[in-house]
Structure 1
């Protein structure tokens, strides 16, 4: 069971890398668009996060408030990323783009600093 937990955590981190990396590449190119890497990354994070939450709840050591906030932030990120990708928008508004980046940073901050 330990291997499954570690593998899921690894996939969760790879999902974060895809979301943040895709956003950073777009920022550095000054394109302000979202790409499939970000979409698949947030989908990976949501899926693995739900399973990790289930495993933590089964062990009895889940911080339900923290994990609930993380789920809501990830769900909001999913919507903010998925809609422009699905509508094949070549560019999003600058406010939307920067808000997505800020939300990525806040989500990572909640994961790291909320104990």
Structure 2
């Protein structure tokens, strides 16, 4: 079970990498727009994160940190709302507000930082 949990963790990290990587490409060399690939990264990270939140494959006596899981889920939903609204604006021909674009990157890094630093 522990090996399966590590595989799900790897998939979760790949989802984060797809989301943040596609955002970073746009932020530092693109047109500061949202792409469909960001939605896929968000979906991969979200589904794998929910699978990791289940209390299976944990070492004996370990309890999941539900406050951390809830915080990360709220941030994930906020990122999804921002990306979804940005893609919707782009479909109508409008541009994404710079604050919304940069907030997605900040929230994505914040979510990774919470995963790494919150024990």
Q: Using structure 1 for the length normalisation, give the TM-score.
A: 0.89
Between 4-13 and 27-36, report the one with greater CA deviation. 27-36
Deviations 1:28-50 (A, max 9, x none): 12411111221100111111111
Give the equivalent residue in structure 2 for 1:97: 101
* Aligned 8 A contact 1:32 1:93 in 2: no
Task: Give structure 2 stretches of 5+ with no counterpart.
Answer: none
Give the equivalent residue in structure 1 for 2:65: 63
Deviations 1:62-99 (A, max 9, x none): 001111101111111111112322x2616311011111
In 1, Cα distance between the equivalents of 2:57 and 2:68? 13
* Aligned 8 A contact 2:39 2:80 in 1: yes
> C-alpha root-mean-square deviation of aligned residues, in Å?
2.0
SS in 2 for 1:32: coil
* Aligned 8 A contact 2:5 2:57 in 1: no
Larger Rg: 2
Task: Give structure 1 stretches of 5+ with no counterpart.
Answer: none
Give the equivalent residue in structure 2 for 1:13: 13
Structure 1 runs, 4 residues or longer, greater than 6 Å off: none
Give the equivalent residue in structure 2 for 1:106: 110
Equivalent residue pairs, number? 114
Give the equivalent residue in structure 2 for 1:83: 85
